Structure 1
Amino acid sequence: METAEIARRFLTFFEKNGHTVVPSANLIAEDPTLLLVNAGMVPFKPYFLGQRTPPYDRATSVQKCVRTIDIDEVGKTSRHASFFQMLGNFSFGDYFKESAIPFAWNLLTTPVDEGGFGLPPERLWVTVYLDDDEAETIWREQVGVPPERIQRFGMAENYWSMGVPGPCGPCSEIFWDRGPEYGAEGGPAADENRYIEVWNLVFMQYERGPGSGKDDFPILGELPSKNIDTGMGLERLATILQGVDNIYETDTLRAILNRAAELTGVNYGDSERSDVSLRVVADHMRTATMLVSDGVRPSNEKRGYVLRRILRRTIRNLRLLAGDDDLYLHDLTEAAIGAMADQYGELRTNADVIHGVIDAEEKNFADTLRAGTTLFNRAAERTKAAGGTEFSGSDAFQLHDTYGFPIDLTLEMAAEQGLTVDEATFRELMSQQRDTAKRDAAAKKLGNADISTYAQLLDTSGATEFLGYTDHEGEARILGLIVDGEAVPAARAGDRAEVVLDRTPFYAESGGQLADKGTLSVDGRGVIDIDDVQRPIAGLSVHRGTVRSGELVVDDHVHAAIDTDRRASVSRSHSATHLIHSALRNALGPSAGQAGSENQPGRLRFDFTAERALDTSELAEVEEEVNTVLSGDIPVRDFQTSLDDALAMGALAMFGEKYGDQVRVVEMSDYSRELCGGTHVAATGQLGVVKLLGESSVGSGVRRVEAAVGLDAFRRLSRESLLVSRLAEQLKAPREELPERIDTVLTRLRSAEKEVERLRAAQVLQAAEGLAAGARDHGDTRLVTHRAPDGTSGDDLRKLALDVRGRLGEDRPVAVAVAAVPQERPVIVVAVNKSAQAAGLKAGDLVGTAARTLGGGGGGKPDVAQGGGNDPTAIDAALRAVEQRISEAT
């Protein structure tokens, strides 16, 4: 049975049993305490915590999840995966154990031709919590499981909580017997390799108090409403139903694994080492594809780092398999999309952008790998030069932390150079990093952000009606006031308050469009200046501002008015963003997908996926195309339609956005058509003019253009025109000849600078003969100290020191110290000859003495070294310190 069919059967079964089918949530968790959704119940946490009233009593879902805490075990075991899907059914105060247990058993054991999974009942075992007699009775008497196949476990195995005070309860788990060839008889208590967990039923019926660990917290009492939370791993069930040994051999992962084997010329089953690498590649490519499709982009922090780390581990394992540095991820991304698209059709829709992001990261890591290899080689050379055979653990950690080198890459490279690696120090530093991350996570782990105040308002009063598409002002009623996080009956002058209205013309920040500003006023009694509007939970607009005068009271009727000039300017920017998006896609192809935007008054930025930068001519073409379109004064139309119909007509959807069944489409003829909830102009001619201000990189595979719109663009062009006129006047050249004239001036200037530098260097070196003639004796050592003119570069100081040293020969120890202030900070160079080194004088030691006097540091080779500091007034003292050090040594 294919994975997609398993998911379909699961949802169909529970839908027939009164459950609402809830689509998988985006992998980017709404819960701010989580980077990514890591369990099937995460989207339902607000309901279990009582922060939101669920819109249904029963629900079922197939939830996408990513968990990387055991990422180093991926590929090595049969059960670890970074991406997995949780089949779940949930009850919110509706049914409890008496229904949840039979539901699970019936679905697992009902014959395939009757819609079930057809598992033989005699190969299923059950575990319950130690004192959960109720669950055991249901299993025995209602379901008919023999008592000898029911086992009891303690809190560590069969009790669930979120790890913080809140809901908790006993669990009952269903295990599958893989057969005697996999281990000993006796159920899960005897051998968990033979008996693998299939389904976990959580009976959420108690409230727990504070404590750490899985079993050292108090149970405070029963919850007012008992809930059901179950989870069954789709991939694990697929291994059973498809008759394979591990999740990597199921249909979806095996398709990617086979493609990786084909590309690298390695057969699955050849060796344990290559099998592990193939399994890592298959798992990680599926995970990366799903993450990118849900809007995650590679970066060096948070969820972006998760994606980057996964892709780099993939590349590393591909290089181990293939023995080359070819690029393979494009083909493997295609395999991952093909494997998962039957369940998640958006993968095909998003394919161009997914490829663009992953391809760019692969090329970027190739450059990073070269830089990291250089760092490794230097560290290895230092180790061998010092006679060592062990590569530093701290260097290995730096390679991992800075360059994303997996430790196995460092181990292999070290072995190639005859070195071992101080793994103990590396592991200790990794552990310290993980401990720090855990402490940071624990400090903010609240189970979920406290949205209960907002949720209560939404539940009691309903969603905020948005009037702003047609009205810029209107009457509304205050549903709630929040000051300092607490609901209050009134807000007074000077209070920083949040206001919830039943209806509003204010646009809440979303989709890249900044929020409206304006005022809320109560006739003759109070005014609040609104400077921000947000949606902390879907459907509820929260107006934030400072009470200017009087007071506002819950249930007051207010007049809401936005700043219309600001709204018009922001709307122009938003419409310009759509035009720029279309022009970029025309220039670069469909892979130029939107990766973020910000629309503010008169100015915008637009992020898009691209493998390379746009050159000046391409930017000019995009700008010309946008202005040509807007000059046609195309009407801007918006309408509501179904999501499927919108996508069918070619409307573009933004990654990471969540869309309902009904969506709003904004179109500008056939030139631009996007799903968008923002505000726009009535016709493109209202934009006036769009001026692109530049293009830059904001991350791997993501570029950014910025632009001015309307009056702001006109002002920008006016300033630039004035500047060009002044340049033309000063250079006495027509405007069209300015580039050539400026190039000529710059060429002359660079030539003059080089000549000045040559003369300055010659002047410095002219002093060499006199300095050598004036060398002073300190014992057997001949010493020269000299302060060169300010502005002398470090390179010229080095040349001077070496010239003087050469003139003094090798018959006696020689030390030369010269210093200057090139650019506000002092620099000193010390050179000694071989005789001086033999006598125990090292240039690096002498420079260190001088640099400390200058308030800095330095170093170099034994024969010549350079240092500097922060105190230009201490140069003479630094030279005397060198002289004193030599006197003491001789």
Structure 2
Amino acid sequence: MKTAEIAQRYLDYFEKNDHTIVPSASLVSDDPSIMFTIAGMVPFIPYLTGVVPAPFPRAADVQKCIRTNDIEEVGKTARHGTFFQMLGNWSFGDYFKEGAIAYAWELLTSSESDGGLGFAERDLWVTVYEDDDEAAGLWQKVAGLPASRIQRMGRADNFWTTGQPGPAGPCSEIYFDRGPAYGPDGGPAVDDSRFLEIWNLVFMQNAITNVRSKTEFDIVGELPKKNIDTGMGLERVAFIKQGVENMYETDQVRPVLDRAVELSGRRYGAVHEDDVRFRVIADHVRSSLMLLSDGVTPSNEGRGYILRRLMRRTVRSMRLLGVDEATFPALFEASRDAMKAGYPEVERDWQRISSYAFAEEETFLRTLTAGSTILDTAVERTRTEGGTTLQGSEAFLLHDTYGFPIDLTLEIAEEAGIGVDRDAFDTLMQEQRLRAKADARSRKRAIADVGVYRDFRALGETVFTGYTDLETPSRVLGVLVDGISAGRASEGQIAEVILAETSLYAESGGQVADKGTIVGPGYELEVLDVQRPVPGLISHTVEVVRGEVAVDQPATTIVDAANRRSATQAHSATHLVHAALRDTLGSGATQAGSLNRAGYLRFDFTWSQALSAATRSEIEEIANNAVRDNLEVSTRVLSLDDAKAAGAMALFGEKYGETVRMVDIGGPWSRELCGGTHVATSAEIGLISITGESSVGASNRRVEALVGLDAFRELTAERALVSELTAALKTPKDQLAARVSELAAGLKAAEKRIAQFEAKALAERVPSLAETAERAGAVRLVVQAVGVVGSQDDVRSLVASVRERLGSEAAVVALAAEIGGRPVVIAATNEAARGAGVKAGALAKAAAAALGGGGGGRDDMAQGGGADVTAIPAALEAVRAVVSAA
């Protein structure tokens, strides 16, 4: 039985039993707390919890789901997969335990010829919650199951909660006995490999509170409205019904696995490690296909990062199977053909899906090539120096900078006879996971493939002189055009220039890149951006404004001094705001991202609630007091351990080497690891004015501020505005807010009175408009322009009143008005007119065409609009023509 057929049988059965069939929600979850739809019940949570009334008493669906929390286990067991489909039937205060059990048992055990799934009753076991005597009794009553095949389990296995106070309840799970070849007898309580869970029936009947863990909570009573939430794993049912060993061998997944076998020339079932890789490929390709079909695209953040990881794990697995060339065209095509019966959109959107998939593979294959070269160099250096272990930091550099998988690093190192310090690598990975991605990363332009920087980086690190010098003589090491090493660039071209030394700051630590110029004999370059494409190397994106720049030429970097000064003020101000936040809110307020540019700072920090106006003022005052106190700003370069011992804070999104730069403002009051540029004393910052505070996620807040002259200019503008208002309103400054509130209240009251007068005036026009009715065949027709009107609601009300006044005889009313300088036509028909074939939607479309816009609506009332008020007469004539032709 094909997977799509199983799903269709499920839906057909429940549709026959009066369930509303609900289409699958997107894999991209609407719930801001989760990235993906991770369970079949996610789209129904508002109904199950009672937050939103259910639009139907009972429903059924096949829901697409993605889970990647145990991605490392994919392929190793029959159960783990990232993409899966959950069959569900739902009751919202309708049927309860007996109904859910009866439906499940009938569908599972009815013959295939009768539309069921054809499971043998002798192969099915169930578990119930340990105290749920009712469910145990119903399984015997409804299904005729003997007590020996009904097992009781505790809270950990058979009690469902959301993990929060609220609705919860016992559940009953249905298991299939795979036979003695898969484990010992004795039911699910003895062995859950032989006895495979296929369906979970949740009886949502309790309210819980004081939730302490998955199994520790207080049941405080029964819910007034009880719900049913069930989930049956489509892939599990499919591999049982298809007589195969696991989900990877089902009809929706096996074609990808077989294609990978064909491409690699290796046999499935011969070597365990190869089998795991084949299953990883089959799973990840299908998951990637389905994510792409739901609009997710590869990136370095959020959902896009998950997709990229799945795709790159696939490439890695194919490489470990001995395939170095591109395989996505073959693999994704196989997955498309396997999935299109259940999800036609994967074929319909194939061009878009495949373009993203193939481009991602191509990019990653280039990355692997570049990483292999760098790894070979590191391995050779290790061996030359007499070492036997590659440093964990080098393996991490390959992984983090080049996206080079650790598995490949281990394999290549092992072939060369050396090991890898995996513990150090894992430590660095864990540190990275604890830091969220820097905001600046999402703004970075695309730079050349990192492989092109290898030769430049081999010449040594770029020397940054900008902490002390704004101008630095240097030499051109490389020129790249369109990501390719070109040797030279001419006037008008955009290029990347690599120098031996530079005074221009590269974007990092939240501080944007310097502005400035690079000059040399016969050429001048405007600096557009400065980045560090690989650690230790600085690249300048420039426009050649004069002459031609070439490798080996002299060059002088010149920083825009005014812009640097303002950016430096903003960066130092960020440190002060951070310290002020921690002074005010405590150590829980830590940095989660920042942006510093000339005159402006943006600071994200961990906090779960909005700051009050008083708290904002306190933070602003503490920071400005630090400015007033003219605190010394000092920097020291020391070991990372020494810096941490001194209390320096390691900031969000930053990577640190063995030596770090520590910035103190006022000694330990503000002490952070930072590579940015800073003022010499805090008084140089000038002024900090917090302009906003907002949410940027469930547990993050954002403060924005202007700094220095920008802050002064803003406050000056506000002072001028206040002076104008006090003069215009003849009100003292301290009474201005009350006066404005008073005027606003008066204006609102006046607008309300005006609206009432206008509505009354329009209502008084109803008789005269009805008297203009003309004959158009069997229809009485009112087609008039009513001039300038306040709102569309006013016109609709007028149209409805005129239609009502015309009585039950076939009648059409179309009134045109000017609202906010734009034309609107609203048409209405009564029942007799619609019976004669006149529909308001068609009239609105005809009018809108004449107005140069769009329109439509219901048969009884619709509207059209456009941009040309002078076309109103033509629009009304168009309405008249449509009615006359009916």
**3-state SS of 2:765 partner:** helix
Match of 2:79 in 1: 78
TM-score (norm 1): 0.52
Match of 1:451 in 2: 450
Q: Residue 172 of structure 2 contacts residue 202 of structure 2 at CA under 8 Å; is this kept in 1?
A: no
Match of 1:103 in 2: none
Match of 1:666 in 2: 663
Cα gap change, 1:499/1:842 in structure 2, threshold over 3 Å: closer, same or farther?
closer
Gaps of 5+ in 1: 1-34, 36-65, 83-253, 274-316, 333-395, 406-422
Query: Match for 2:600 among 584, 599, 603?
Result: 603
1:180-211 deviations in whole A, cap 9, x for unaligned?
Answer: xxxxxxxxxxxxxxxxxxxxxxxxxxxxxxxx
Q: Residue 160 of structure 2 contacts residue 202 of structure 2 at CA under 8 Å; is this kept in 1?
A: no
Letter in 1 for 2:740: I
Match of 1:474 in 2: 472
TM-score (norm 2): 0.52
Q: Residue 509 of structure 2 contacts residue 674 of structure 2 at CA under 8 Å; is this kept in 1?
A: yes
1:231-289 deviations in whole A, cap 9, x for unaligned?
Answer: xxxxxxxxxxxxxxxxxxxxxxx99x99988999789995569xxxxxxxxxxxxxxxx
Deviation at 1:650, TM superposition (A): 4.2
Taking only the aligned residue pairs, the percentage that are identical comes to 40
Deviation at 1:578, TM superposition (A): 1.6
Deviation at 1:493, TM superposition (A): 5.4
Deviation at 1:717, TM superposition (A): 1.2
Q: Residue 792 of structure 1 contacts residue 820 of structure 1 at CA under 8 Å; is this kept in 2?
A: no
Q: Residue 457 of structure 1 contacts residue 480 of structure 1 at CA under 8 Å; is this kept in 2?
A: yes
1:746-766 deviations in whole A, cap 9, x for unaligned?
Answer: 222222222222222222221
Letter in 1 for 2:878: A
Trace 1:629-708 onto structure 2 (pairs within 5 A): 629-668=626-665, 669-698=667-696, 701-708=699-706
Match of 1:758 in 2: 756
Q: Residue 599 of structure 2 contacts residue 711 of structure 2 at CA under 8 Å; is this kept in 1?
A: yes
Deviation at 1:596, TM superposition (A): 2.7
1:590-632 deviations in whole A, cap 9, x for unaligned?
Answer: 4544333221111222233443443433332322221122222
Q: Residue 172 of structure 2 contacts residue 200 of structure 2 at CA under 8 Å; is this kept in 1?
A: no
Query: Match for 1:540 among 529, 537, 541?
Result: 537
Q: Residue 649 of structure 2 contacts residue 673 of structure 2 at CA under 8 Å; is this kept in 1?
A: yes
**3-state SS of 2:764 partner:** helix
Distance of 1:672 and 1:470 partners within structure 2: 22
Match of 1:239 in 2: none
Match of 1:436 in 2: 352
**3-state SS of 1:789 partner:** strand
Cα gap change, 1:438/1:713 in structure 2, threshold over 3 Å: closer, same or farther?
same
Match of 1:116 in 2: none
Q: Residue 827 of structure 2 contacts residue 843 of structure 2 at CA under 8 Å; is this kept in 1?
A: yes
Deviation at 1:571, TM superposition (A): 0.8
Match of 1:806 in 2: 804
Q: Residue 842 of structure 1 contacts residue 862 of structure 1 at CA under 8 Å; is this kept in 2?
A: yes
Cα gap change, 1:838/1:831 in structure 2, threshold over 3 Å: closer, same or farther?
same
Distance of 1:528 and 1:832 partners within structure 2: 69
Letter in 1 for 2:722: V
Letter in 1 for 2:855: G
Distance of 1:619 and 1:848 partners within structure 2: 53
Match of 1:790 in 2: 788
Deviation at 1:878, TM superposition (A): 2.7
Deviation at 1:587, TM superposition (A): 4.4
Deviation at 1:518, TM superposition (A): 3.2
Q: Residue 856 of structure 1 contacts residue 868 of structure 1 at CA under 8 Å; is this kept in 2?
A: yes
Match of 1:295 in 2: none
The answer as to 2:575 corresponding to 1:578 is: yes
Deviation at 1:814, TM superposition (A): 2.3
Distance of 2:612 and 2:551 partners within structure 1: 56
Gaps of 5+ in 2: 1-34, 36-66, 84-155, 177-198, 215-289, 297-301, 304-338, 368-447
Distance of 1:328 and 1:533 partners within structure 2: 53
Distance of 1:265 and 1:75 partners within structure 2: 33
Deviation at 1:879, TM superposition (A): 2.3
**3-state SS of 1:427 partner:** coil
Q: Residue 830 of structure 1 contacts residue 864 of structure 1 at CA under 8 Å; is this kept in 2?
A: yes
1:489-541 deviations in whole A, cap 9, x for unaligned?
Answer: 5556555443322222221111121222334444x655444343221111011
Deviation at 1:801, TM superposition (A): 1.4
Trace 1:185-264 onto structure 2 (pairs within 5 A): none
Letter in 2 for 1:438: S
Match of 2:819 in 1: 822
Cα gap change, 1:329/1:511 in structure 2, threshold over 3 Å: closer, same or farther?
farther
Match of 1:854 in 2: 851
Q: Residue 261 of structure 1 contacts residue 267 of structure 1 at CA under 8 Å; is this kept in 2?
A: no
Cα gap change, 1:873/1:69 in structure 2, threshold over 3 Å: closer, same or farther?
farther
The answer as to 2:343 corresponding to 1:427 is: yes
**3-state SS of 1:752 partner:** helix
Deviation at 1:677, TM superposition (A): 0.9
Match of 2:736 in 1: 738
Match of 1:178 in 2: none
Query: Match for 1:882 among 870, 875, 879?
Result: 879
Distance of 1:544 and 1:424 partners within structure 2: 45
Trace 1:330-479 onto structure 2 (pairs within 5 A): 427-430=343-346, 432=348, 436-443=352-359, 445-446=362-363, 447=365, 448=367, 450-459=449-458, 461-479=459-477
Cα gap change, 1:490/1:814 in structure 2, threshold over 3 Å: closer, same or farther?
closer
Deviation at 1:589, TM superposition (A): 4.8
Distance of 1:319 and 1:623 partners within structure 2: 55
**3-state SS of 1:536 partner:** strand
Match of 1:501 in 2: 499
**3-state SS of 2:690 partner:** strand
Q: Residue 529 of structure 1 contacts residue 546 of structure 1 at CA under 8 Å; is this kept in 2?
A: yes
Distance of 2:533 and 2:161 partners within structure 1: 43
Cα gap change, 1:456/1:324 in structure 2, threshold over 3 Å: closer, same or farther?
farther
Distance of 1:736 and 1:495 partners within structure 2: 58
Cα gap change, 1:671/1:318 in structure 2, threshold over 3 Å: closer, same or farther?
farther
Cα gap change, 1:813/1:558 in structure 2, threshold over 3 Å: closer, same or farther?
closer
Distance of 1:640 and 1:258 partners within structure 2: 54
Deviation at 1:574, TM superposition (A): 0.5
Q: Residue 533 of structure 1 contacts residue 544 of structure 1 at CA under 8 Å; is this kept in 2?
A: yes
**3-state SS of 1:535 partner:** strand
Trace 1:72-221 onto structure 2 (pairs within 5 A): 77-80=78-81
Letter in 1 for 2:681: A
Deviation at 1:635, TM superposition (A): 1.6
Distance of 1:729 and 1:758 partners within structure 2: 33
Cα gap change, 1:496/1:430 in structure 2, threshold over 3 Å: closer, same or farther?
closer
Match of 1:836 in 2: 833
Query: Match for 2:866 among 848, 866, 869?
Result: 869
The answer as to 2:763 corresponding to 1:773 is: no
Letter in 1 for 2:597: Q
Deviation at 1:557, TM superposition (A): 4.4
Deviation at 1:570, TM superposition (A): 0.9
Q: Residue 841 of structure 2 contacts residue 856 of structure 2 at CA under 8 Å; is this kept in 1?
A: yes
Q: Residue 160 of structure 2 contacts residue 169 of structure 2 at CA under 8 Å; is this kept in 1?
A: no
Q: Residue 811 of structure 2 contacts residue 830 of structure 2 at CA under 8 Å; is this kept in 1?
A: yes
Q: Residue 481 of structure 1 contacts residue 499 of structure 1 at CA under 8 Å; is this kept in 2?
A: yes
**3-state SS of 2:672 partner:** strand
Q: Residue 169 of structure 2 contacts residue 206 of structure 2 at CA under 8 Å; is this kept in 1?
A: no
**3-state SS of 1:453 partner:** helix
Q: Residue 74 of structure 1 contacts residue 81 of structure 1 at CA under 8 Å; is this kept in 2?
A: no
Deviation at 1:456, TM superposition (A): 0.3
Greater relative contact order, per chain length (Cα 8 Å cut-off, separation 6+): 1
Match of 1:517 in 2: 515
Cα gap change, 1:477/1:702 in structure 2, threshold over 3 Å: closer, same or farther?
same
Letter in 2 for 1:452: G
**3-state SS of 2:534 partner:** coil
The answer as to 2:476 corresponding to 1:560 is: no
Cα gap change, 1:436/1:644 in structure 2, threshold over 3 Å: closer, same or farther?
farther
